[in-house]
Amino acid sequence: MAHPEPCCPSLQAETALSRCAAIRTQLQAAHLFADPSVPSPAKPSLDGGGSAVQTGTSWRISPDPLLLSRDQLTFFTALGPRLLSFYRALNRLYYESVKGVQPSWVAQYLDRGKPDALVTYSRMKRFRDSLPAVIRPDVIPTQDGMVITELDSVPGGIGLTACMSEIYAGTPVDSAPLPLQRHELVGGRDGMVRGFASMLQSAQAQHAGCVAILVSEEAKDYRPEMTWLAARLREQGIPAWCVEPRDIRFTEEGLSLKTDSGEQAVALIYRFFELFDLPNIPKSELVQYAAKKTLVAVTPPYKPALEEKSAFALLHHPILRPYWKKELGEDCFLHLTTIMPRTWILDPATLPPTATIPGLSLGERAVANWADLETATQKERHFVIKPSGFSELAWGSRGVSIGHDLPQSEWTGALHKALASFRTTPYILQEFHKGRLFDMEYMDEHQQSMVHMAGRARLSPYYFVTGEKVELAGILATVCPADKKVIHGMQDAIMAPCAVITDNTR
């Protein structure tokens, strides 16, 4: 791999350096970017994919957004409604499995490892039609097209992407507007804030009061970006505050919050914490009680079955194919099965001697036992093993093992661990798809020069649901050096919003 090389000194490079410095200054003013000379915390971020900023984290700043084609924008615009259809169909599949209309093993897989009380709560009739109001897939651009590695309904990066969109669009966040470029940001300058605001208003329904963005201690590294976002919402007339769970007050009338404007009733809780963390969250039972009594609205809903990566395995399962085709329609089903990689639930149950695992093969050999994977060659191990969900290991890329990147013994160990964890934390096996290279440049803080980098990108589009409408509000790009197998937020990554070229001469 070629190492990044400094760009040739020029007026263009000086302009790029000045632009990067302005971007950094404005991010620091928003408390979303730290001095890169200060080491960042070792603890990974909580967003299912590691894309959001931590307190004290920095990354490589590019002078420009990552540029997409018009065809790629069309792909992302159409993807949102398809993913909402997928969530709706998954939700129905789960409930029909509970009732016995669909195979019972569907609900058994999705409920495995969850506390009985949470499962019972999630199945309450009043929450039956509730779906995530924020949809964020992690999309890897490959040589053969786009691939979705996972979905996240409790994503970080919303405030960060909103702030970066304002900065890269030239908004004078600190009275220092950036030069106009010949591109158009996906979602525009304030699409993230407007989209999030519309989603909140829709989710609030008939409840009167303010919005509490509830950030747990586990997710505290995201408070700066959600605090920034809440301030922007208040500027648009939406009373919203980013708070800790202990700040919520409970009365017989509902939940309330003490703000600078005095005590306010809480109409909507925006849940910014993972459900596995519920036992550690103060007053979580009171929030659930208030939601059950319809005293307050909560989004995303307390439905762990909709937050499992094993949903990809269900989409590809041949027994469920008629259901998916009927619910999604032929075109949507074909599209999703093309861009969602084949996935298998690592269930250690013994198969009959004549059975094989559907769709899984090593070369031309069908796989009948997970033990067959232990002897797979490095070229045959283009698979990823990761927890399906409901675990502290299921976010921040901490539980990910990439087969062809591991020695044989470590690959075998990862497989054994995954199978042994099935009762409490099911794991999945997923096809690995290699991202294509992007050429970008960034500012070297130490040398004060522009540097070229070839890297692989993860594109994280943010969709906000308002009723039946799904809006693409922005896309965050994370571009890691080409030798990194797992793409996530890190100091060596370039992070920038995405844009579409508007000048055909470029």
pLDDT over 50 at 3, yes or no: no
φ/ψ bin of 267: left (φ > 0), alpha (ψ from -120 to 50), beta (otherwise): alpha
φ/ψ bin of 262: left (φ > 0), alpha (ψ from -120 to 50), beta (otherwise): left
Give residue 102's pLDDT: 98
Q: Cα-flanking dihedrals φ and ψ of residue 245, to 5°?
A: -55, -35
Give residue 490's pLDDT: 74
Lowest mean pLDDT among 113-122, 396-405, 417-426: 396-405
Give residue 506's pLDDT: 39
Half-sphere exposure of 9 (CA within 13 A, CB side): 2
Give residue 83's pLDDT: 98
Residues 345-354: pLDDT tens digits?
A: 999 999 999 9
Residues 230-239: pLDDT tens digits?
A: 999 999 999 9
Give residue 75's pLDDT: 98
* DSSP string across 196-223: HHHHHHHHHTT--SEEEEEE-STTGGGH
Burial of 47 (0-12, 13-18, 19+ CB in 10 A): buried
Q: Are 265 and 209 in contact (CB under 8 A)?
A: yes
Residue 228's pLDDT band, with cuts at 50, 70 and 90, is: very high
Instruction: Tell me the Cα Rg of the chain.
Output: 23
From CA 115, how far away is CA 302, in angstroms rounded?
Answer: 12
Residues 24-72: pLDDT tens digits?
A: 999 999 999 986 555 444 333 323 334 444 455 789 999 999 999 999 9
Instruction: Of 195, 205, 170, 174, give the one whose Cα is nearest residue 184.
Output: 170
Residue with tokens 């009732």: 99
Give residue 5's pLDDT: 47
SS3 content of the chain, % helix, strand, coil (to 5): 35, 25, 40
Give residue 396's pLDDT: 63
Amino acid in the structure at residue 219: A
Residues 125-175: pLDDT tens digits?
A: 999 999 999 999 999 999 999 999 999 989 999 999 999 999 999 844 444
Residues 255-279: pLDDT tens digits?
A: 999 988 889 999 999 999 999 999 9
Q: H-helix or E-strand containing 224?
A: helix 223-235
From CA 181, how far away is CA 107, in angstroms rounded?
Answer: 50
From CA 50, how far away is CA 59, in angstroms rounded?
Answer: 13
69-107 in b/e form (b: 16+ CB < 10 A) is eeebbebbeebbbbbbbbbebbbbbbbebbeeebbeebb
Lowest mean pLDDT among 7-16, 185-194, 316-325, 381-390: 7-16
Amino acid in the structure at residue 212: A
Give residue 348's pLDDT: 97
Give residue 369's pLDDT: 94
Opening angle at CA 96, ends 310 and 347, nearest 5: 30
Residue 483's pLDDT band, with cuts at 50, 70 and 90, is: confident
- Show Cβ contacts of residue 137 under 8 Å, excluding neighbours closer than 6 positions: 79, 83, 148, 150, 151, 152, 460, 461
Residues 97-137: pLDDT tens digits?
A: 999 999 999 999 999 999 999 999 999 999 999 999 999 99
Give residue 318's pLDDT: 97
Residue 486's pLDDT band, with cuts at 50, 70 and 90, is: confident
Share of the chain above pLDDT 70, in %: 89
pLDDT over 80 at 504, yes or no: no
pLDDT over 60 at 448, yes or no: yes
From CA 160, how far away is CA 27, in angstroms rounded?
Answer: 9
379-384 contact pairs (CB < 8 A, 24+): 379/404, 381/406, 381/411, 382/431, 382/432, 383/429, 383/430, 383/431, 383/432, 384/149, 384/429, 384/430, 384/431, 384/432
According to DSSP, the residues that pair with 150 across neighbouring strands are 138
SS3 278: helix
Give residue 43's pLDDT: 36
Give residue 106's pLDDT: 98
SS3 66: strand
From CA 270, how far away is CA 465, in angstroms rounded?
Answer: 14
Average pLDDT of the chain is: 89
List the strands of the sheet with 343-345, edge to edge. 343-345, 427-431, 383-387, 401-402
Strands 262-272 and 297-299: parallel
Give residue 42's pLDDT: 39
Share of the chain above pLDDT 90, in %: 79
From CA 380, how far away is CA 368, in angstroms rounded?
Answer: 16
As a whole number, mean pLDDT of residues 369-382 equals 94
From CA 214, how far away is CA 220, in angstroms rounded?
Answer: 10
As a whole number, mean pLDDT of residues 427-435 equals 96
Q: Give the largest Cα separation in the chain, rounded.
A: 71
